[in-house]
Chain A
Amino acid sequence: MPIEIDIARVAHLARIALTDEELEAYGRQLGDILDHAARVQALPTEGIEPTSHPLPMVNAFRPDEITGTLDRDEVLDQAPDAADGYFRVPRILDQP
Chain B
Amino acid sequence: MSSLADLSIAAAAAGLRAGEFTARELTAAVHRRAAMTEAHLHAYLAIDHEGALAAADAADEELADGRDRGPLHGIPIAVKDNMCTRGLTTTAASQILAGYRPPYDATAVARLRTAGAVIIGKTNLDEFAMGSSTENSAYGPTRNPWNTDTVPGGSSGGSAAAVAAGSAFGAFGSDTGGSIRQPAALTGTVGVKPTYGRVSRYGLIAFASSLDQIGPMARSVEDAADLLTAVAGWDRLDATSYREEAPDVRRSLATGVFGLRIGIVTEMMGEGIEPEVAGAVRSMADRLAGAGAELSEVSLPASEYALSAYYLIAPAECSANLARFDGVRYGPRVEGATTEEMMARTRAAGFGPEVIRRVLLGTYALSAGYYDAFYGQAQKVRTLVRGDFAAAYQHVDVLVSPTSPTTAFPVGAKVDDPIAMYYNDVCTIPSNLSGDPAMSVPIGLDGAGLPVGFHIMAPALAEDRMFQVAAEVERLADFTVRPALATDEVRLP
Contact = CB atoms under 8 A, between A and B. Distances in A.
A53 B302 CA distance: 18
Nearest to B239: A60
B383 interface: yes
A17 B341 contact: yes
Contacts of A52: 210, 379
B202 interface: no
Given A10-B363, A26-B356, A57-B240, A50 B379 contact: yes
B85 to A, nearest CB: 13
A31 to B, nearest CB: 10
A40 B381 contact: yes
Contacts of B236: 62
A73 to B, nearest CB: 9
A16 interface: yes
B267 to A, nearest CB: 14
A37 interface: yes
Interface in A46-77: 48-55, 57, 60, 62, 70-71, 74-75
Interface of B: 100-104, 196-197, 210, 236, 239-240, 242, 302, 305, 307-309, 311-312, 319, 323, 326-333, 335-345, 347-348, 351, 356-357, 359-361, 363-365, 367, 373-374, 376-384, 386, 418-419, 433-436, 460
A87 B326 CA distance: 12
B196 A55 contact: yes
B308 A16 contact: no
A17 B383 CA distance: 36
Contacts of A11: 360
A74 B330 CA distance: 11
Interface in A69-93: 70-71, 74-75, 78-81, 87, 89-92
A45 B332 contact: no
Given A16-B360, A37-B374, A54 B379 contact: no
A36 B419 contact: yes
Q: Choose among B100, B319, B330, B336 the residue with the greatest number of A CB atoms under 10 Å from its CB.
A: B330
Given A16-B356, A41-B377, A90-B336, 17 more contacts: A13-B367, A15-B347, A30-B357, A32-B419, A33-B361, A36-B419, A37-B365, A40-B309, A40-B378, A43-B381, A45-B384, A50-B376, A50-B379, A51-B379, A54-B436, A78-B329, A87-B329
Given A15-B343, A16-B356, A30-B357, A36 B383 contact: no
A38 B308 CA distance: 7
Nearest to B242: A55
Q: Nearest 10 CB-CB pairs, A to B?
A: A54-B435, A50-B379, A80-B333, A60-B239, A17-B344, A45-B380, A51-B382, A74-B103, A39-B308, A14-B363
Contacts, number: 169
A69 B101 CA distance: 17
Interface string A1-19: 0000101001101111110
Interface residues of A, number: 50
B312 A60 contact: no
Contacts of B308: 36-40
B330 A78 contact: yes
A26 B357 contact: yes
14 contacts: A13-B367, A16-B347, A32-B419, A33-B357, A33-B361, A36-B311, A37-B309, A43-B302, A45-B383, A48-B384, A51-B379, A54-B433, A70-B103, A80-B331
B367 A16 contact: no
A71 B360 contact: no
B131 to A, nearest CB: 14
Contact of B364 (A10, A53, A60, A91): A10
Contacts of B364: 5, 10, 30, 34
Contacts of A51: 379-380, 382-383, 386, 433
Nearest to A45: B380
Given A10-B360, A33-B419, A53-B210, A90 B367 contact: no
B371 to A, nearest CB: 11
Contacts of A45: 377, 380-381, 383-384
Nearest to A61: B239
B326 A15 contact: yes
Given A34-B364, A78-B100, A92 B381 contact: no
A15 B336 CA distance: 13
A41 B373 contact: yes
Nearest to A90: B339
Contacts of B460: 54
B316 to A, nearest CB: 10
A78 B103 contact: yes
Nearest to A47: B380
A48 B357 contact: no
